[in-house]
Amino acid sequence: MGRQTALFPEHQALKARIVDFGGWDMPVQYDSVLEEHHAVRRSAGMFDVSHMTFVDLTGPDARAYLRRLLANDVERLKTPGKALYSGMLNEQGRVIDDLIVYAPTVANPELWRVVVNCGTREKDLAWMQAQAVNFRVSLKEREDLAMIAIQGPEARARVATARPALKALADGLDVFQGAEAGDWFVARTGYTGEDGLEILLPNGEAGAFWRDLLAAGVKPCGLGARDTLRLEAGMNLYGNDMDETVSPLVANMGWTIAWDHDFIGKPALEAEKANGVKQRLVGLILEEKGVLRSHMKVITADGEGETTSGTFSPTLERAIAFARIPAGTADRAEVEIRGKRLPARIVRAPFVRNGKPQH
C-alpha cells in the first residue's frame, strides 16, 4: 500500500480503480477513460492532484534564490499571484524536474509557492535545500494541503455553483494566475489544455469540496484521462519526455529558458546551443490503425529516434505520440510496431487546443 491523499476515501466511495503512481495510491479511472476525457473537453472534470509536492518559500533572498534555481526567470512575474512554468536544471543543463512557481499575492506578499512532481519529490527537495545554503530563504513542504484540479470549458462555472463565494475570485483571475481565498489558494492553471482551476486547500476540507463539485455536475477523472488530455495538449510528462539525461533544448522547452539571467546549467546549455542541438521533440500522428506507446522506434529521413509518450487521442480518433528524433526538416516518419513500419506525420504540438484539433 502506498501513500494516500486526503481524498482517498472519496475515490473508494466512487469505486475508482486504484494504481500505484510515484508511491501514491491514485485513481486511474472511475468508469471510462474515454468518457472522463470527453467530459473535460466538453464540460468539466476534476482530478485529485494532492500527490504533487507543494513547497512554500519565504525570506529576503527568495526571489534571488529562484532566479538562480530556475532556467526561466521569476523576474518576469509582474502581476501578483502570476504563475511561471520552468525547468529546474543540474549543472550539465539537464532537467531535474519541471515545475510551476507562483509569485507572491496581495494577501501574502512574502510567500512564493512551488509545485513539483510527486515522483521526484525526494531528489527535488534535496536539490532545492542544497542550493538554498547561500541564500536567506526558508523552504517548507506543505503536506497539510490537498489540491483538486477542475478542468474544462464549464469548470469555473461549476466551481461557482459548488462554492458561490469563489465566483468573483475565479472570474477575476487571468490565465496562469492564482490568488488566496482564506486558507485556500485558487489558480487558473491546469494540465489538460482547457480552461480551469487548480485549488489548494486544507486536507480536512477537501472531501466536502469534492462532494460539492460532484453535486454541481463535475465528473471525477483519473490518471488515464489526465494522460490522454495532457498529451493532446502537447504537455510533457517528466520521466517520459524529459529527465536528468535530457536537455530542455531537446525536450521542446527552449521557450522556457530566460537567457538573460544567470541560472544553474546555463553554461552547458549555451555550449549545446553553440554546437547545434542534435535532437528535437516532435508530435506524431499515426496514419493507419495502430497503438502508439513509449520507446517505439521511429525512422525518419534524418535518422532514427524513438517515441517518448504515446496514446490514442479521443479527440482526433487517432494514435498520437511525442518522439525524440534527429534534428532536421523531415515531416514524415515511420513507426515500428510489432515488426511492421507504419507511416506517421510529424507535427508541432499541441494536437488539440481548447477542445479543437490543430492538425
Percent of the chain surpassing pLDDT 70: 100
Q: Residue 298: pLDDT above 90?
A: yes
pLDDT at residue 87 in the model: 98
Q: Residue 330: pLDDT above 80?
A: yes
Region 180-188: mean pLDDT is 97
234: three-class secondary structure by DSSP: coil
Q: Please report which confidence band the pLDDT of residue 176 belongs to, taking 50, 70 and 90 as the band edges.
A: very high
- Tens of pLDDT along 57-72? 999 999 999 999 999 9
pLDDT at residue 327 in the model: 96
Q: Are 194 and 40 in contact (CB under 8 A)?
A: yes
What's this model's pTM, rounded to 2 decimal places? 0.97
Q: Residue 73: pLDDT above 80?
A: yes
Region 69-89: mean pLDDT is 98
Q: Residue 20: pLDDT above 90?
A: yes
**Which domains are present in the chain?**
8-49+143-232 (3.30.1360.120), 278-357 (2.40.30.110)
Region 43-67: mean pLDDT is 98
Q: Residue 1: pLDDT above 90?
A: no
Distances (CA, A) of 152 to 85, 187, 191, 279, 291: 20, 14, 11, 34, 26
pLDDT at residue 2 in the model: 86
Q: Residue 178: pLDDT above 90?
A: yes
- CA dihedral defined by 80, 85, 90, 94, rounded to 10 degrees? -170
pLDDT at residue 257 in the model: 98
pLDDT at residue 295 in the model: 98
Q: Is the peptide bond before 153 cis (omega within 30 degrees of 0)?
A: no
Distance CA 86, CA 324 (A): 20
- Tens of pLDDT along 135-152? 999 999 999 999 999 999
Mean pLDDT, the chain, rounded, equals 97
pLDDT at residue 224 in the model: 98
- Tens of pLDDT along 251-289? 999 999 999 999 999 999 999 999 999 999 999 999 999
Distance CA 174, CA 156 (A): 12
Exposure on the CB side of residue 315, measured as CA atoms within 13 A: 28
